[in-house]
Structure 1
């Protein structure tokens, strides 16, 4: 069967889109391949003049069906996006999705398609919705402030990159991402965004990352930055939410009079972390919040006005938005006065509503409930015992089974299991000590326990039942691996527990990993 997703068929798709824009019906468009003399002439002319593939007439109905599916999906996505957006008093702008093949958005969406994303129309609709809610000129107005709410690990970064791409196509030239408080995660975010956006050979814009906005950095001194309207460079920086880094950024931005040429899109990633002003109303703002507010309002680190940007748009992204819209609503704050919008999780996503259920979704049969374990957990917390309760041993064994399955399927990425029984750091250490003890002192019997746990867990959610409970899952049933026999993963389990578990400390500069189990203890004192 011909792969009509190839770019050789772009000409057909563009003609169909133009016909739809002129309000041609789908019946009229698809009838072009009916075989009349006019139809044959239509295809011959386009093959000769517009370099359509020779088989264009035979694949016409297939291409029409694909374009129709995209249009219908996009229409539903737009309706869903409009229902999930709250707007302030400002009217939305009239910007459209960039259509040029060398646009940042077109090249980014092509990357998404190559990576196997199945929700590109939804991403496009939601990015356009946000784009139409911001402003490319705030010289006479206050900064735009909005909030984007997405589920945990559900594609917020893909939406950020799409929004940046669309904004770059429409004239925004300076992109700032505030990325948590851990530098390794900042670097990870920077590399991913730059990889998503960079297309120097094919794109109309050249992307330049600035690793640290600092006046001592000669390579990226503000006097070397070109922000003229006809310049093709777009600047991207990912900054820690750290007082020193934010002060350096404010000094850098306020150093040069070209500040008035900056059309800024400022994205606050995980905006509920460090950005919120947690001070009482009669107290001074918390330092990080104050510095971010000064950045948004066009002030220096001390709060002195230093001139307006060409445009300033602050967009907070978070999965836990309560503090963001329940905090202060003062004019000079980070309150999302202009819009709040919800992102749609992709149909590959498993979150609380998919697992535990909601009003219109029953949830999945994967929950194991145990009673009478409180006393055993209390003993672990208090350090009087290092024996895991049977329920937690079963959970660890099921995790080992799952990792062994993934290793069998040649998956080489990290897999993690969260054990959360308390909010106290001493308890975290004691539970980790018990897990370590189990994986080392009972190594000889773990595989046998896994063999007992495996059929119990796999019978709870067999493949057929999974598709009954999640009928809209993006991957077809024919491409889903079924559970293998335990005999095929037994060796993999032994390999996982053959080496002593390592403790990973976040402050270690050169961490050493092996192919087995690693313990990472949150807020640990060890």
Structure 2
């Protein structure tokens, strides 16, 4: 039966390509009936209100409203995207009444998750939404494939917006004069960066880019994964077959993917060769198994046909008829040499080819490094891969370079003055954390007393056994639970592969020993006997049953699960070996059929490896990780977080066994879990800073990418953001932080420095109120009630606090110096705070106690743990911050918090002061002699929030300088 209402709405919405318009008028014009408009809208209201799952009309409006909600380029609305105001503007323009708005809002809630953050220099707009819609052959195919794969409307629209933001900042491919943009896209580890650059590639090819070079990692293992994704989701089976009949076996000889389980059903189809539909084909210059090779017909393969030979290729008359060429190549010297050699044979036409270079994992191998000792002599040699990338950019003057990484620090430290290099001078885009992504927040309770660690993390302590047997049991048990869920309707897709990753070392000899140990442990685990079943039953009861997702099928007892344990054991032990070693010196070492997630129907194995499993390569079905590898570089450590990613149907089963006391050099230990938390804080701080700067001021960028490098923080002194030979350009001078928390954590450990600091704070301690009956009342948003705590307070002038902060000894003076520079800045754009409320919380509990310090009144001391390098991860309590934020003017005043409201003044900041005792010093109560405590045993730690900007508008938060080789005499770049 024809769905007339759906057809009408489809026609009406198709006419609204540029944004919402009066729905009734268009419906009247396009309708083939004489039904009154209000009656038609009534039918629409009733249909949406009664719609069940799968209703196509609701789905149509879900896609449309979501795309309008998220649209960044919305000439029809001044309301910001992802807000109720944007949705209201949409309904106003459609002319919908209150009742219809209500049912649509219920059916399609406003998607308010943050979008991509863009830092960009000013650019010439050329890639409008109209143009994107007019030339969208490959993007439309890709979008439809994503929807068939189950992507939500919000996910598709978010990808559309983020990829559009990249393409519009590339150079217009039809532009007369050549220009090569340089950009960087920052995602999260294993969060879908490939999906974004596939979308960018689709849109760029549609717009006119005719040569796409994807630098796909340093191993064929990674290159092959990327090639397959592009072939499956963008290039499609029609371009792969090149017109061959898919039913003719002889015609298919030599065609890839004949042994691929997903071929051809899951490969996108364009319905025939695109050129037969008036579009253009894509020719592959690499295949799944073959990297770029010197072509006997290299010149022909890379020559571009022209409709009008007297005009350059980038002329629209030629460009939109020419086939595109796509290649996925390793970042390998010999491979890139072959490519460069072939390109040089082509000659002058190179200057006419709009080219897109996508650099996956762009902080690996691509960044120029050299021996730091040579810098001192002024000698900087360009390394091999970096030099070859620069050659490509030089040979192809119309080449646009876009790097992709989850660890951007090495890229933003590239010398911005080196015009030949890959510094992202034009744009830096930070992608949002995707819905359904399992990342930092799922393993670390960064700012609250959450349950992430309790649910997913199992610490491995040197003094309590290595827990490897427990991790192995968890792997078997979670495999059984996946099979149990698959039998009860949870889609099988997420459970096709089931893997465990064991990562302890980079040494291949140690991998072999570890694999032998795990194999031996496996065969002695008695998974078919009473002992093994008893262990698994206990683990189910104590762990997996306790933390199971209530919305997913979970057995009530081990007896119910037991049949699936046998099947899981068989799958893991297929071939007689449960373990795969993933390492080697050559490509051949990685060509293991059991490791091929694409061609092997089920990979249920334990992977033992090192560096090769820690970057770029996706370990499908990863559920249990046993991780004890040490490193002193934050980006390297973050890339090892293979446990981050999408875990549909089994995120509650994910377990991380991680070293908590691992050796690091002589007499040093490292807490790997703590280290991950620290670099996650570094990353979030960086993203937060980018977000602050992304808002345009008077239509212009606050900062350009060249002013970004020093926004990289470092929470652990021994864990560098990147290798030293990638960081020599950055020097942070000042962080401006009106209305933003500043929490120094690197305090001295020496007795003399601690006593000195206490003396410096003495006048402030003496100024504290005697009244401990004054309570600060805080709204607790999570529980809907209130938390009350007593506090002693004082008001200090800005000069007093500045004098204290300037005189203190610090464990890492360089980390606090940029904040101190801001406090000292008396200019109009500087610190606007005139005085400060000092708050000293008087906490209570079994670990709290009071004591006098340097003759002060008794005050409550708190305990905070230092890490292995003497740095605190956190000082202030989350509950204490809300009143301080009211005082500083960034939270509304409240009758529920009268004390803070009374203390609020314009241009007044707030300081939370904590007398901190490290519990490692012993029982805190024993440190008190009489009623006093030795100041050498106490750290007076402060967190402060300067007054919010009185002007009420956005101002830059940092001032810094970065070494720039083009300005050697000045060596500074400053934010005005």
Cα offsets for 1:374-399 (capped at 9, x unmatched): 157xxxxxxxxxxxx36222122112
Map 1:149-228 to 2 at 5 A.
Answer: 149-197=186-234, 198=236, 199-201=269-271, 203=274, 204-211=279-286, 213-218=292-297, 221-222=300-301, 224-226=303-305, 228=318
Identify if the C-alpha distance between structure 1 residues 267 and 516 changes in structure 2 by more than 3 Å, giving closer, same or farther: closer
Q: What is the rounded CA distance, in whole Å, between the counterparts of 1:353 and 1:254 in structure 2?
A: 49
8 A Cα contact 2:280 2:320, kept in partner: no
Distance 1:11 1:207 in 2: 36
Map 1:266-305; keep pairs closer than 5 Å.
266-280=357-371, 281=375, 282-298=379-395
Q: Structure 1 pair 449/141, CA: closer, same or farther in 2 (3 Å)?
A: same
Partner of 2:121: 88
Q: Describe how 1:31-70 pairs up with structure 2 within 5 A.
A: 37-39=35-37, 63-64=60-61, 66-70=63-67
Report the counterpart of residue 103 of structure 1 in structure 2.
137
The 5 Å alignment of 1:474-513 reads 477=551, 480-482=552-554, 485-496=560-571, 499-504=576-581, 507-508=588-589, 511=592, 513=594
**Cα gap change, 1:335 to 1:255, in 2 (>3 Å):** same
Shift of 1:243: 0.7
User: Does the alignment pair 1:331 with 2:419?
Assistant: yes
Match of 1:366 among 426, 451, 455: 455
1:522 aligns with 2:597: no
Structure 2, gaps ≥5 residues long:
42-54, 72-80, 83-110, 237-268, 306-312, 487-491, 595-601, 613-976
Shift in Å at residue 68 of structure 1? 2.2
Please give the secondary structure, in 1, of the residue aligned with 2:334: helix
- Whole-angstrom CA distance in 2 between matches of 1:220 and 1:13: 47
Shift of 1:216: 3.2
The separation in 2 between residues aligned to 1:258 and 1:361, in whole angstroms, is: 62
Q: TM-score, normalised by structure 1?
A: 0.77
Moved more, 496-505 or 148-157: 496-505
Q: Quote the Cα distance in structure 2 between the aligned partners of 1:170 and 1:455.
A: 57
Deviation at 1:16, TM superposition (A): 2.0
Residue aligning to 1:53: none
What is the aligned residue count? Answer: 468
Q: What does 1:396-415 correspond to in 2, within 5 Å?
A: 396-408=472-484, 409=486, 410=492, 413-415=496-498
Describe the superposition over 1:159-207 as per-residue Cα deviations: whole angstroms up to 9, x where unpaired. Answer: 1111111111111111110011111321221121022112443642311
Deviates more, 1:440-449 or 1:266-275: 440-449
Q: TM-score, normalised by structure 2?
A: 0.43
State the 1:518 CA deviation: 4.5
Of 1, 12, 17, the residue aligned with 1:15 is: 12
| 1:130 pairs with one of 133, 144, 166 | 166
What aligned pairs does 1:342-381 form with structure 2 within 5 A after superposition? 342-359=430-447, 362=450, 364=452, 365-370=454-459, 373-375=461-463
8 Å CA contact retained: 2:580, 2:605:
no
Please give the alpha-carbon distance, in whole angstroms, between the structure 2 residues aligned to 1:420 and 1:217.
43
Match of 2:325 among 235, 239, 247: 235
Matched, 1:420 2:503: yes
Q: Tell me the distance in 2 between the aligned counterparts of 1:319 and 1:254.
A: 33
- Once the two structures are TM-superposed, the CA of residue 245 in structure 1 deviates from its matched residue by 1.0
Partner Cα distance (1:101, 1:42) in 2? 34
Distance, in Å, in 2 between the alignment partners of 1:352 and 1:334 is 29
Other structure's SS at 1:172 match = coil
Within the candidate set 343, 355, 358, 1:264 is matched to 355
CA distance, structure 1, for counterparts of residue 459 and residue 39 of structure 2 = 72
The 1:238/1:483 distance shift into structure 2, 3 A limit, reads: farther
Deviation of the 1:358 alpha carbon: 4.0
Asked whether the 8 Å contact 2:205–2:324 carries over to 1, the reply is: yes
1:450-474 deviation digits (Å, cap 9, x = unpaired): 221112222442324xxxxxxxxxx
| Greater Cα shift, 412-421 or 23-32 | 23-32
For the residue of structure 1 that corresponds to 2:503, the secondary structure is: coil
Contact 2:187-2:405 at 8 Å conserved across structures = yes
Q: What is the DSSP-based 3-state SS (H/G/I as helix, E as strand, rest coil) of the residue aligned with 1:463?
A: coil
CA distance in 2 between counterparts of 1:260 and 1:196 reads 30
Tell me if structure 2 keeps the 8 A contact 1:277–1:285: yes
Q: CA deviation at 1:286?
A: 0.8
Distance in 1, matches of 2:429 and 2:521, equals 46
Larger radius of gyration between Structure 1 and Structure 2: 2
1:471 matched residue in structure 2: none
Cα distance in structure 1, aligned partners of 2:144 and 2:448: 34
Q: CA deviation at 1:102?
A: 6.4
1:36 CA drift (Å): 7.2
Secondary structure in 2 matching 1:266: strand
Question: 2:512 & 2:67 partners in 1: Cα distance?
Answer: 51
Match of 2:665 in 1: none
Output aligned runs, 1:18-29, within 5 Å.
Answer: 18-19=15-16, 21=18, 23-24=20-21
Mapped pair 1:319 → 2:406:
yes
Aligned to 1:472: none
Q: Residue 47 of structure 2 corresponds to which residue in structure 1?
A: none
Query: By how many angstroms is 1:131 displaced?
Result: 0.9
Structure 1 pair 392–126 and aligned structure 2 pair: CA distance change class (3 A): same
Deviation at 1:423, TM superposition (A): 5.4
Q: Pairwise CA RMSD of aligned residues?
A: 3.8
Any idea what SS the aligned residue of 2:467 has? helix
Mapped to 2, the partners of 1:270 and 1:121 lie a distance apart of 25
Map Cα deviations across residues 206-236 of structure 1 (whole Å, 9 max, x no partner).
1110015555332773564335314241111
1:114-137: CA deviation from partner (whole Å, max 9, x where unpaired): 111121000000001111111134
- Do the aligned partners of residues 454 and 41 (structure 1) sit closer, same or farther apart at CA in structure 2, a change above 3 Å counting? closer
Q: Does 1:148 align with 2:185?
A: yes
In structure 2, do the counterparts of structure 1 residues 331 and 359 end up closer, same or farther at CA, with 3 Å as the change threshold?
A: farther
Question: Are positions 1:458 and 2:544 aligned together?
Answer: yes
Distance 1:169 1:404, change over 3 A: same
State the alpha-carbon separation in 2 of the partners of residues 3 and 416 from structure 1: 48
Structure 1 segments unaligned to the other structure (5+ residues): 44-57, 299-307, 377-388, 465-476
The 3 A distance-change label for structure 1 pair 225 and 156 is same
SS at match of 2:520: helix
Distance (Å, rounded) in 2 between the aligned partners of 1:457 and 1:31 = 61
Tell me the CA shift for residue 24 of structure 1: 2.6
The alpha carbon displacement at 1:273 in A equals 1.4
SS of 1:520's partner is strand
Q: Distance in 1 between matches of 2:147 and 2:59?
A: 18
SS at match of 2:325: strand
